[in-house]
């Protein structure tokens, strides 16, 4: 294979201290440059843990995690932050700051401790605000944003990094249809137009099936399936992993993603 792999994970095992079984065991994945890769699975299957391992916030017990061919632990934090933008889940800010102040922090990896922000930094900030549609909210305190606005502001901070790779942990949780679709459209545009590699964790199987080039389905810390959505999202696998009856039918269209497998969970009596 000559394709460039952005993330490469081999034989990954990780356990949290004081827990009997590993949170992740034997997980493998390869994320190709410029693709959109989704990690799905039930609650507690290890999705967020895997993301933290990809980002170097946790360290593997066995196996390795590489970013562009080099182990994540061997990268300097700042060098990694110049390449990977991350949108973590649910961090509470200790003090009120404005959207613009927060998005400006996306430039810190490029500026270091002393560097003076220049025109390029200003442009990156404005562009990120614009693409996430939060320019009008720039002077507002983060604490006064709605859930969707806040999520877009967090993505804007990651885009201000001008990253080659974007990693997001449930970026559309608790968002309404329009806001959720806006974010998925933005992620698709970033991969297809700008060549950014996107890795995300999501609970929305149907959007993952429509937008992702490849999926990793986790089950209790193991990889249950990995591949293109149409190949792995079968009724048998979903029912086994999620322990719930579903029907799977192709997305009727219109749209370029017509035909993607769409999952409908059945009610308890069916």
Partner 1 sequence: MTVRNSLRLLSLALLTALVLVVSIALGAADLPLRAVLDALGGGGEDPARTIVLNLRLPRAALAVLVGGSLGLAGAVFQALLRNPLAEPYVLGVSGGAAVGAVAAVVLGWNLYAPWSLPLAALVGALFAITLVLRIAARAARGFDTRVLLLAGVVVGAFFHALILLLLTFASAEAYRSAGLWMMGSLAAADWPAVLLLTAYLVPAIAVLLLMARPLNLLAMGEQTALYLGTNVERVKLASYLIASLLVAAGVAVSGVIGFVGLIVPHAIRLMWGSDHQLLLPASLLLGGGFMLAADTVARTAAAPAELPVGVITALVGVPLFVVLLTRRVV
Q: Report residue 49 as tokens.
A: 């843990």
Nearest distance from residue 71's CB to partner 1, in Å?
A: 17
Nearest distance from residue 158's CB to partner 1, in Å?
A: 8
CB nearer to partner 1: give 56 or 148.
56
In degrees and rounded to multiples of 5, residue 267 shows phi and psi of: -75, 165
The stretch among 1-9, 22-30, 85-93, 247-255 that binds partner 1 (CB under 8 A) is 85-93
Interaction between residue 173 and partner 1 (CB under 8 A): no
Instruction: Report the alpha-carbon distance of residue 125 to residue 106 in Å, rounded.
Output: 8
The angle at the Cα of 86, spanning 80 to 89, to the nearest 5 degrees, equals 145
Nearest distance from residue 45's CB to partner 1, in Å?
A: 20
Interaction between residue 177 and partner 1 (CB under 8 A): no
Interaction between residue 18 and partner 1 (CB under 8 A): no
- Whole-Å CA distances, 212 to 34, 38, 71, 232: 11, 6, 25, 12
Instruction: Report the alpha-carbon distance of residue 210 to residue 147 in Å, rounded.
Output: 24
Instruction: Report the alpha-carbon distance of residue 54 to residue 235 in Å, rounded.
Output: 29
Secondary element (H or E) of residue 229: helix 229-232
Interaction between residue 88 and partner 1 (CB under 8 A): yes
The stretch among 24-32, 84-92, 172-180, 257-265 that binds partner 1 (CB under 8 A) is 84-92
Interaction between residue 145 and partner 1 (CB under 8 A): no
Calculate the CA 17 to chain-centre distance. 25
Interaction between residue 94 and partner 1 (CB under 8 A): yes
The stretch among 98-106, 126-134, 182-190, 234-242 that binds partner 1 (CB under 8 A) is 98-106
Task: Please say whether the beta carbons of 12 and 223 come within 8 A.
Answer: no
Q: Report residue 81 as tokens.
A: 């932050």
Positions in 227-256 near partner 1 (CB under 8 A): none
Interaction between residue 270 and partner 1 (CB under 8 A): no
List contacts with partner 1 (CB under 8 A). Answer: 17, 55-57, 77-82, 84-86, 88, 91-98, 101-102, 105-106, 108-109, 111, 113-114, 161
């Amino acid at each position: 294979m000559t394709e460039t792999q952005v993330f490469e994970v081999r034989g990954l095992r990780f356990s949290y201290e004081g827990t009997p079984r590993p949170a992740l065991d034997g997980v493998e994945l390869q994320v190709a440059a410029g693709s959109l890769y989704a990690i799905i699975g039930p609650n507690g299957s290890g999705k967020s843990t895997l993301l933290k391992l990809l980002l170097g916030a946790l360290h593997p017990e066995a196996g390795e995690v590489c970013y562009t061919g080099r182990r994540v632990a061997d990268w300097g934090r700042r060098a990694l932050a110049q390449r990977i933008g991350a949108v973590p889940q649910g961090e509470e800010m200790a003090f009120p700051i404005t959207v613009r102040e927060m998005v400006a922090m996306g430039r810190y990896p490029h500026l270091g401790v002393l560097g003076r922000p220049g025109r390029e930094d200003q442009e990156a900030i404005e562009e990120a605000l614009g693409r996430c549609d939060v320019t009008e909210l720039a002077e507002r305190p983060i604490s006064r944003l709605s859930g969707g606005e806040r999520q877009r502001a967090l993505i804007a901070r990651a885009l201000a990094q001008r990253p080659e790779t974007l990693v997001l942990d449930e970026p559309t949780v608790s968002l309404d249809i329009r806001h959720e679709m806006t974010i998925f459209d933005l992620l698709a545009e970033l991969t297809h137009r700008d060549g950014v590699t996107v890795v995300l964790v999501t609970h929305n199987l149907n959007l993952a099936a429509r937008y992702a080039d490849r999926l990793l389905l986790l089950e209790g810390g193991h990889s249950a399936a990995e591949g293109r959505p149409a190949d792995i999202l079968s009724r048998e696998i979903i029912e086994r992993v999620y322990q719930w009856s579903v029907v799977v039918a192709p997305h009727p269209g219109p749209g370029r993603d017509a035909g993607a497998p769409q999952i409908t969970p059945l009610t308890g009596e069916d």
